[in-house]
């Protein structure tokens, strides 16, 4: 039987009616040598039985009744999803990042599974890069890290795997099997009843606790009912589909020491660095700036799976106008602590269930109203503290490029050994001087490390 998208995934899927709201993400993984492509393909083939969405495409429900479904792709071919290309001389990192940005800009073929691995060869020093692109409906950031365990090793000669013939030659079940209109009506009615019951339980729970109801209402106002436009005087109204990628390495140990000394966490330090960087960028451009609004996902995953989405986007104001790094850190820490305790986080599924019943055009309009309130996005992922390999090639660094989703930039870090690998996904219309922004990030990190 087909698996239906969750309400959150269906909402992300519907919002792609507007390309500016695409939710794909891409990892730029620098390697010391080209990986064994055949071995990588075998590992991905072996992963399919554990993560079926790798061999499934999205199929609309019959007659539009209900959310889209994940169905086996009868034309599935690993050669389409795991491929190799080369860059011309001189083979520098800038060429690779520009190539990655162009690949990111391209929409997925909706007739195929929503992922693509591209091995890029021809880099100076015989290095290589793996560009791992995935649609957010397949998995979220935490799930993506778990998915990577299927093909990443803790040694250069990690275990090989034989493909599952059934999964590679064509998963069982036709693309349209079991998709009768009557079946979809029945299942959709059950789904709608489940949504109604979930909403009723949430309302009943609040009704029995008036104090909690008031706190929840205030939380919803802070997180959902924001109507104030984004605050940046530089980035207002400047959005495009053009992307620019930048990759940096931050000092994980140093930021941990600084954060600990100030009574906070590495995530507090990272957000403080990015807040300081965007503030300095504005001042260097001659623009006065105060608080800016930032969005950040909060992980709500309780299972051990690698597919699906379990996160809630949150919004908060960060003190970009505060120059002193200590004061800025303390304000960031306090506001992040408040945001992580927002009661609205627990109502994300309920809200998605309400929105998904609206016409797609209304969903898109509401999404634009909300993303227009946000200046930039951040995310923080925890990786491995030890060396890793992909099909015999050593991972040098791994830079996640999260979706901008209508904001000026997305800054996502992934810890690896003693570093935070930072990926900056920049909207080319908003950030017209990417080199300046990179310099501001480096300077903001140095300020915090000096503490």
Beta strands 376-381; 393-401: pairing state: unpaired
Over 50: is that where the pLDDT of 385 sits?
A: yes
Cβ contact 404:427 at 8 Å: yes
Residue 51 has pLDDT above 50, yes or no: yes
Identify the three-state secondary structure at position 176: coil
pLDDT at 107: 93
Secondary structure of residue 401 in the 3-state scheme: strand
Alpha-carbon span 161 to 108, nearest angstrom: 28
Q: Six-digit token pair at 82?
A: 């795991």
Q: What is the pLDDT of residue 354?
A: 78
According to the model, what pLDDT value does residue 184 have?
40
| Residue position matching structure tokens 């079946």 | 183
**pLDDT of res. 219:** 45
Residue 116 CA to residue 60 CA, distance in Å, equals: 22
CATH 1.10.569.10 fits 3-157, yes or no: no
Q: What is the spatial distance between Cα 353 and Cα 351, in angstroms, rounded to a whole number?
A: 5
Condensed to tens digits (0 to 9), the pLDDT of residues 218-234 reads: 444 444 557 789 999 99
Phi, psi of 163 (to 5 degrees): -70, 155
Under 8 Å between Cβ of 307 and 143: yes
- 62 vs 91, higher pLDDT: 91
Least confident of 101-105, 262-266, 313-317: 313-317
C-alpha angle 351-354-359 in degrees, rounded to nearest 5: 130
Q: Which residues of 244-264 are buried (b: 16+ CB within 10 A; e: fewer)?
A: bbbbbbbbbebbbbbbeebeb
For residue 154, count CB atoms less than 10 angstroms from its CB and return exposed for 0-12, middle for 13-18, buried for 19 or more: exposed
Q: What is the pLDDT of residue 310?
A: 62
Rounded-to-10 torsion of CA 437, 440, 446, 451:
-130
Query: Taking residues 104-118, what's their average pLDDT?
Result: 96
Mean pLDDT lowest among 21-25, 36-40, 270-274 = 21-25
Q: Is the predicted pLDDT of residue 377 greater than 70, yes or no?
A: yes
The pLDDT value given to residue 194: 47
- Inter-residue contact 36 to 391 (CB < 8 Å): yes
Cβ-based neighbours of 82, under 8 Å, separated by 6 or more:
37, 40, 41, 44, 117, 119
- pLDDT value at residue 82: 97
Tell me what pLDDT residue 302 has.
65
What is the average per-residue pLDDT within 169-193? 40
pLDDT tens track for 123-135: 999 999 999 999 9
Cβ–Cβ < 8 Å for 238, 430: yes
pLDDT at 408 over 80: yes
Number of helical H runs and strand E runs in the chain: 14, 16
Mean per-residue pLDDT for 406-414?
Answer: 96
**More confident: 174 or 293:** 293
Give the per-residue pLDDT at 298: 80
More confident: 195 or 6: 6
By C-alpha distance, which of 146, 396, 415, 443 is closest to 267?
A: 415
Q: How far is it, in rounded angstroms, from Cα 31 to Cα 93?
A: 12
Q: Are strands 243-251 and 311-318 parallel, antiparallel or unpaired?
A: unpaired
Lowest-confidence range among 56-60, 86-90, 211-215, 416-420? 211-215
Task: Quote the CA–CA distance of 145 and 381 in Å, as a whole number.
Answer: 8
Print burial letters for 189-218: b (CB count within 10 Å at least 16), e (below 16).
eebeeebeeebeebeeebeeeeeeeebbee
DSSP 29-84: EEESS---HHHHHHHHHHHTTTSGGGGEEEEPPGGG-SS-EEEE-TT--HHHHEEE
Confidence category of residue 252, pLDDT binned at 50, 70, 90:
very high
Tell me the mean pLDDT in the region 128-145.
Answer: 88
Question: Do 3-157 and 220-380+407-449 come out as alike in CATH topology?
Answer: yes
**Which residues on adjacent β-strands are paired with residue 135?**
24
Give the model's pLDDT for residue 295: 94
CA 334 – CA 16 distance, rounded (Å): 35
Q: Is the pLDDT of residue 204 over 50?
A: no
Asked if residues 356 and 10 have their Cβ atoms less than 8 Å apart, the reply is yes
pTM (predicted TM-score): 0.84
- Judge contact between 247 and 93, C-beta under 8 A: yes
Mean pLDDT of 71-96: 96
Averaged confidence pLDDT in the chain = 85
* In the chain, domain spans: 3-157, 220-380+407-449
Is the pLDDT at 68 greater than 60, yes or no?
yes
**pLDDT score, position 304:** 67
Give the DSSP letter string of 403-436.
Answer: --TTSSEEEEEEEETTEEEEEEEEETTT-S-HHH
Kindly tell me if the per-residue pLDDT of 190 is higher than 60: no
Contacts of 434 (CB under 8 A, 6+ apart): 244, 246, 424, 426
Q: Where are the beta strands (DSSP E) in 302-372?
A: 311-318
Cβ atoms 298, 140 nearer than 8 A: no
| pLDDT of residue 208 exceeding 90 | no
Percentage of residues in the chain with pLDDT exceeding 90?
63
Distance CA 432, CA 438 (A): 12
Residue 105 φ/ψ, nearest 5 degrees: -65, -30
In this predicted structure, the answer to whether residue 186 has a pLDDT above a threshold of 80 is no
| Of the options 2.60.40.2470, 3.30.559.30, 3.90.180.10, 3.40.50.1000, the CATH number for the domain spanning 220-380+407-449 | 3.30.559.30
């Amino acid at each position: 039987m087909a698996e239906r998208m969750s309400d959150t995934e269906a909402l992300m899927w519907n919002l792609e009616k507007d390309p500016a709201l695409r939710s794909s993400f891409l990892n730029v993984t620098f390697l010391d040598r080209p990986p064994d492509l055949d071995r990588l393909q075998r590992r991905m083939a072996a992963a399919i039985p554990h993560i079926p969405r790798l061999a499934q495409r999205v199929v609309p429900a019959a007659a539009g009744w209900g959310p889209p479904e994940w169905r086996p792709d009868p034309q599935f071919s690993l050669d389409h999803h795991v491929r190799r290309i080369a860059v011309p001389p001189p083979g520098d990192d800038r060429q690779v990042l520009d190539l990655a940005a162009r690949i990111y800009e391209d929409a997925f073929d909706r007739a195929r599974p929503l992922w693509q691995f591209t091995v890029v060869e021809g880099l100076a020093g015989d290095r290589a890069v793996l560009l791992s692109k995935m649609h957010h409906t397949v998995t979220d950031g935490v799930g993506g890290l778990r998915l990577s365990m299927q093909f990443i090793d803790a040694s250069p000669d990690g275990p090989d795997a034989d493909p599952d013939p059934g999964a590679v030659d064509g998963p069982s079940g036709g693309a349209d099997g079991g998709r009768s209109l009557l079946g979809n009506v029945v299942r959709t009615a059950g789904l709608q009843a489940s949504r109604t019951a979930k909403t009723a339980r949430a309302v009943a729970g609040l009704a029995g606790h008036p104090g909690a109801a008031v706190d929840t209402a205030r939380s919803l106002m802070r997180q959902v009912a924001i109507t104030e436009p984004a605050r940046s005087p530089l980035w207002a109204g400047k959005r495009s589909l053009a992307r620019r990628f930048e990759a940096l390495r931050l000092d994980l140990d140093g930021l941990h020491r600084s954060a600990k000394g100030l009574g906070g966490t590495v995530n507090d330090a990272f957000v403080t660095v990015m807040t300081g960087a965007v503030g300095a960028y504005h001042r260097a451009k001659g623009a006065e700036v105060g608080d800016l609004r930032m969005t950040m996902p909060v992980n709500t995953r309780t299972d051990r799976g690698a597919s699906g989405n379990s996160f809630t986007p949150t919004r908060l104001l960060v003190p970009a106008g505060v120059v002193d790094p200590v004061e800025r850190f303390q304000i960031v820490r306090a506001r992040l602590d408040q945001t992580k305790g927002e009661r609205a986080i627990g109502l994300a599924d309920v809200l998605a269930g309400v929105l998904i019943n609206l016409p797609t055009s209304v969903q898109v309009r509401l999404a634009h109203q909300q993303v227009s309130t946000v200046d930039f996005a951040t995310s923080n992922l925890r990786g491995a503290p030890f060396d890793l390999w992909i099909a015999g090639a050593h991972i040098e660094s791994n830079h996640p490029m999260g979706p901008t989703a209508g904001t000026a930039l997305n800054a996502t870090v992934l810890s690896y050994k003693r570093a935070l690998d930072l990926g900056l996904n920049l909207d080319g219309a908003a950030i017209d001087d990417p080199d300046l922004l990179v310099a501001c990030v480096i300077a903001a990190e140095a300020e915090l490390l000096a503490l």
